[in-house]
């Protein structure tokens, strides 16, 4: 068993914009607690959490990583997360595994895009939030101004819990300490402001405070923890990962005031699906049956697939029998690991609130619930709201015979990152991978190459156009083929009629008098459906039309199924040519969120992409959302251009709306590029 209890655990996810110094801060905290002797550096590639070779190459975090330390009787789990917006997937999964989210802000850069996003996400998930102003020693840092900006942006509940002093070389507590000078403003004023905020959560405490009675440390802790859980307080603390200022104060803050797993807002565990799902009471009781949640999958080159999970209830030991979700067959925990960056150490037990890992269990997947009771199958956490992967590439192996290897590599990559999706479009016969941006896709393809030795060729994905008709028409074809043996004969007359958009396809048999035998009507329908799938003018599937076969001829010897398949195909093509064929393109609803200063550029750019702007919505923090309908084909390079126009601050989401006719010049281009197969 570990030498700490659940009450001694503190779980904190560090999030924030790239360059905020999260990895360096974690490294400094590990050194402060005596876990490592020397602080590693990003430049040398020696940090604990940026252990992946690609992270060392990019000199940025590309995945979440756990680092743990013990300080004055408490066990602190820190999860370092990527700051790049393209790698939000691992960040969001890490946030779901901790009671507290620490939003790290670069003191000189101030509030950035990811700062806003992570504050909103943590608040929506009802997580305890603290703000760490890091790099306070950096040139250009205006701390008084930054505190004001934080409170204006995120609310008056954001208050300093400690303040820099002695020319930024130290940090002084202002929650328990009332007197002293700091580099910013009076310690007494800061103390009074945060105590006023905390005691508001309890009428009894408020009354004692107003009457001048002294408040015990325990009373203040309970009120502080309650204020954090209710979102009534977001404490601000100050650190420097380089000079070490504020590190001890932050660790003592974790010990004294940050909630442990018995106090924080645990995510709701649900049983069942949809509206019938019921909340299941899960308590951090080490003697209860096991309930754990898999929040991270990594494919380690030495130990294989590593599944990292947070234990919410019960105790996990080697030889424990665990079920995965609603699976009927359990697996036995062979080796149980703790995780420290890229290192794994065997342990004899995992208790509620802690993070553990098992290796080489292929059936485990991200977001799985592990449990040891048949009565608790079909358990799950409320799904996270991940951003929709927008940036797509069509891929194929660079060399033949690599298809199976590519499929395995893609499977491993999608296991690790919930924002990396793989689609195989049967209609277009292409495999498309999608991520959150160009950098995300570049990193994933490099991982595929370096880790799995699979090289691919890429191109923009094809657009799923459709074909239809605009007016009724008739078609006819006689197929007659005479060879040395038996011949082929079939003749088909049919009518085509357009249907309303979205009504699909209808086939009618109106042949009378046996002009086409009933036994051969399925062959006629088969030929027509082949063209529906293959397309008539540009090679895209047909939709929204009715086809009625009303007459034909057959030969008692030469009429075979193949003859009527060919006759129907060509009669259908003849009818479509006479019916005003038209190519349709997919239209998507797009919401583009940008700073207000860029709105004019954005609307002009959207108009140049054939977008129809339907409205705008003002957001807090000086942002605005532009709503528009636009062709999917106009979005092929939009992600990159939007980032360029807004200095990386613009985002967009999309969803399919409907199909509309393409412009005439686009239709002619698509028709000219089409090479139809021989229908005879």
**Which tens digit of pLDDT belongs to each residue from 356-407?**
999 999 999 999 999 987 656 677 787 788 877 867 899 999 988 889 999 9
Mean pLDDT of the region 194-222: 83
The CATH code of the domain that includes 148 is 3.40.50.300
The CATH code of the domain that includes 481 is 3.30.230.10
What pLDDT sits at residue 679? 46
Same domain for 350 and 453, yes or no, is no
Same domain for 403 and 529, yes or no, is no
Helix (H) or strand (E) run with residue 665 in it = helix 664-673
CB atoms within 10 A of CB 210: 10
Same domain for 134 and 251, yes or no, is yes
Q: Is residue 674 part of a domain?
A: no
The CATH code of the domain that includes 611 is 3.30.70.240
Which one of 434, 459, 484 terminates a domain?
A: 459
Helix (H) or strand (E) run with residue 248 in it = helix 247-256
Asked whether 466 and 502 are in contact (CB, 8 A), the reply is no
User: What does the alpha-carbon distance between residue 619 and residue 117 come to, in Å, rounded to a whole number?
Assistant: 13
113: Cβ contacts below 8 Å, ≥ 6 apart = 17, 85, 648, 649
What pLDDT sits at residue 132? 97
Q: Is residue 444 part of a domain?
A: yes
Q: Is residue 87 part of a domain?
A: yes
Q: Is residue 453 part of a domain?
A: yes
C-alpha closest to that of 28 among 172, 142, 134, 146? 134
Q: Is residue 679 part of a domain?
A: no
C-alpha closest to that of 585 among 618, 540, 545? 540
Q: Is residue 211 part of a domain?
A: no
The CATH code of the domain that includes 415 is 3.30.70.870
Q: How many helices (H) and strands (E) does the chain have?
A: 16, 33
How many domains does one find in the chain? 5
User: What does the alpha-carbon distance between residue 259 and residue 26 come to, in Å, rounded to a whole number?
Assistant: 19
| Residue 126 exposed, middle or buried by CB count within 10 Å (0-12, 13-18, 19+) | middle
**Which tens digit of pLDDT belongs to each residue from 7-34?**
999 999 999 988 899 999 999 999 999 9
Same domain for 320 and 409, yes or no, is no
> By mean pLDDT, which of 131-135, 214-218, 359-363, 490-494 is the weakest?
214-218
Asked whether 512 and 561 are in contact (CB, 8 A), the reply is no
Same domain for 101 and 158, yes or no, is yes
Same domain for 570 and 478, yes or no, is yes
The DSSP string of 156-209 is TTEEESEEEETTTTEEEESSS------SSS-HHHHHHHHHHHHHTT-HHHHHHH
Q: Is residue 90 part of a domain?
A: yes
Of 240 and 269, which is predicted with more confidence? 240
User: pLDDT confidence of 78, banded at 50, 70, 90?
Assistant: very high
Asked whether 158 and 129 are in contact (CB, 8 A), the reply is no
User: pLDDT confidence of 179, banded at 50, 70, 90?
Assistant: confident
Same domain for 549 and 644, yes or no, is no
**Which tens digit of pLDDT belongs to each residue from 438-484?**
888 899 999 999 989 999 999 888 888 899 999 999 999 999 987 66
What proportions of the chain, in percent to the nearest 5, are helix, strand and coil? 30, 30, 40
**Which tens digit of pLDDT belongs to each residue from 640-679?**
888 889 887 888 877 778 899 999 999 999 999 887 755 4
User: pLDDT confidence of 565, banded at 50, 70, 90?
Assistant: very high
User: What does the alpha-carbon distance between residue 436 and residue 384 come to, in Å, rounded to a whole number?
Assistant: 16
Collapsing DSSP to helix, strand or coil, 455 comes out as coil
Of 261 and 462, which is predicted with more confidence? 261
* 473-481, strands of its sheet edge to edge: 473-481, 488-498, 545-553, 505-509
Note the pTM of the prediction, 2 decimals: 0.79
CB atoms within 10 A of CB 680: 9
Same domain for 104 and 182, yes or no, is yes
639 φ, ψ (degrees, to nearest 5): -55, -45
Same domain for 454 and 484, yes or no, is no
Asked whether 663 and 591 are in contact (CB, 8 A), the reply is no
Same domain for 10 and 140, yes or no, is yes
Q: Does residue 421 have a pLDDT over 60?
A: yes
Longest C-alpha distance within the chain, in Å?
113
Q: Does residue 52 have a pLDDT over 50?
A: yes
Q: Does residue 325 have a pLDDT over 50?
A: yes
Same domain for 182 and 63, yes or no, is yes
User: What does the alpha-carbon distance between residue 64 and residue 451 come to, in Å, rounded to a whole number?
Assistant: 18
What pLDDT sits at residue 678? 53
Same domain for 372 and 471, yes or no, is no
Helix (H) or strand (E) run with residue 307 in it = strand 304-313
Asked whether 47 and 444 are in contact (CB, 8 A), the reply is no
Q: Which percentage of the chain shows pLDDT scores above 70? A: 97
Partners of 496 in beta bridges: 473, 547
556: Cβ contacts below 8 Å, ≥ 6 apart = none
Helix (H) or strand (E) run with residue 255 in it = helix 247-256
Which one of 558, 579, 600 terminates a domain?
A: 579
What pLDDT sits at residue 274? 66
User: pLDDT confidence of 275, banded at 50, 70, 90?
Assistant: low
User: What does the alpha-carbon distance between residue 77 and residue 8 come to, in Å, rounded to a whole number?
Assistant: 11
Q: Which domain holds residue 57?
A: 6-191+233-256
Asked whether 335 and 304 are in contact (CB, 8 A), the reply is no
Partners of 100 in beta bridges: 12, 128
User: What does the alpha-carbon distance between residue 516 and residue 158 come to, in Å, rounded to a whole number?
Assistant: 81
The CATH code of the domain that includes 354 is 2.40.30.10
**Which tens digit of pLDDT belongs to each residue from 114-146?**
888 899 889 988 899 999 999 999 888 899 999
Q: Is residue 431 part of a domain?
A: yes
Which one of 342, 360, 381 terminates a domain?
A: 381
Asked whether 565 and 527 are in contact (CB, 8 A), the reply is yes
State the DSSP code for 126. T
User: What does the alpha-carbon distance between residue 37 and residue 17 come to, in Å, rounded to a whole number?
Assistant: 28
């Amino acid at each position: 068993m570990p030498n700490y209890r659940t009450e001694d655990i503190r779980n904190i996810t560090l999030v924030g914009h790239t360059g905020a110094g999260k990895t360096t801060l974690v490294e400094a905290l590990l050194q402060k607690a005596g876990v490592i002797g020397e602080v590693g550096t990003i430049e040398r590639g020696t940090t604990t959490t940026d252990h992946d070779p690609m992270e060392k190459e990019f000199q940025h975090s590309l995945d979440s990583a756990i680092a743990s330390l013990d300080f004055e009787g408490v066990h602190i789990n820190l999860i370092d997360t990527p700051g790049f917006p393209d790698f939000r997937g691992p960040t969001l999964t890490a946030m779901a595994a901790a009671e507290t989210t620490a939003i790290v802000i670069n003191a000189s850069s101030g509030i950035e895009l990811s700062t806003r996003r992570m504050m909103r996400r943590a608040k929506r998930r009802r997580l305890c939030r603290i703000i760490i102003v890091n790099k306070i020693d950096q040139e250009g840092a205006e701390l008084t101004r930054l505190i004001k900006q934080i409170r204006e942006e995120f609310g008056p509940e954001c208050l300093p819990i400690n303040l820099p002093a002695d020319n930024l070389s130290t940090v002084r507590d202002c929650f328990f300490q009332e007197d002293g000078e700091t580099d910013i403003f009076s310690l007494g004023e800061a103390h009074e402001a945060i105590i006023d905020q905390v005691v508001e959560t309890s009428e009894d405490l408020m009354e004692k405070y107003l009457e001048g009675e002294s408040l015990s440390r325990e009373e203040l802790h309970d009120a502080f923890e309650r204020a954090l859980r209710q979102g009534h307080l977001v404490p601000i603390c100050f650190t420097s990962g380089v000079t070490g200022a504020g590190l001890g104060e932050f660790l003592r803050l974790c010990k004294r005031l940050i909630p442990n797993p018995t106090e924080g807002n645990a995510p709701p565990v649900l049983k069942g699906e949809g509206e019938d799902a019921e909340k299941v009471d899960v308590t951090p009781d080490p003697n209860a049956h096991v309930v754990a949640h898999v929040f991270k999958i990594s494919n380690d080159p030495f130990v294989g697939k590593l599944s990292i999970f947070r234990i919410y209830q019960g105790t996990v030991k080697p030889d424990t029998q665990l079920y995965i979700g609603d699976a009927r067959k359990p697996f036995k925990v062979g080796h149980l690991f703790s995780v420290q960056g890229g290192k794994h150490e065997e342990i004899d037990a995992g208790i509620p609130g802690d993070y553990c890992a098992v290796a080489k269990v292929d059936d485990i997947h991200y977001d799985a619930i592990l449990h040891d009771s048949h009565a608790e199958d079909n358990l799950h956490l409320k799904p996270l709201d991940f951003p929709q992967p927008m940036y797509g590439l069509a891929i194929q192996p660079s060399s033949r015979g690599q298809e199976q290897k590519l499929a395995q590599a893609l499977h491993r990559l999608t296991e690790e990152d919930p924002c990396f999706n793989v689609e195989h479009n049967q209609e277009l016969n292409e495999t498309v991978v999608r991520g959150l941006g160009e950098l995300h896709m570049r990193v994933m393809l490099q991982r595929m190459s370096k880790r799995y030795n699979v090289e691919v060729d890429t191109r923009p994905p094809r657009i799923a156009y459709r074909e239809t008709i605009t007016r009724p028409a008739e078609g006819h074809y006689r197929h007659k083929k005479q060879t040395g043996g038996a011949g082929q004969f079939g003749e088909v007359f049919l009518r085509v009629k357009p249907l309303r958009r979205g009504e699909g396809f209808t086939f009618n048999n109106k042949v009378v008098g046996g002009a086409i035998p009933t036994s051969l009507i399925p062959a006629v329908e088969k030929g027509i459906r082949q063209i529906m799938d293959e397309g008539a003018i540009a090679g895209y599937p047909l939709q929204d039309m009715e086809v009625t076969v009303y007459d034909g001829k057959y030969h008692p010897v030469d009429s075979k199924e193949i003859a009527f398949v060919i006759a129907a195909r060509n009669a259908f093509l003849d009818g479509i040519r006479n019916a005003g064929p038209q190519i349709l393109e997919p239209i998507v609803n797009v919401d583009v969120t940008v700073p207000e200063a860029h709105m004019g550029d954005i609307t002009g750019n959207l108009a140049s992409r054939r977008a129809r702007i339907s409205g705008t919505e003002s957001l807090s923090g000086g942002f605005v959302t532009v709503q528009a309908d636009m062709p999917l084909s106009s979005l092929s390079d939009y992600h990159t251009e939007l980032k360029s126009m807004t200095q990386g601050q613009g985002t967009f989401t999309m969803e399919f709306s409907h199909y509309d006719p393409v412009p005439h010049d686009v239709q002619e281009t698509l028709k000219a590029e089409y090479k139809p197969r021989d229908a005879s």
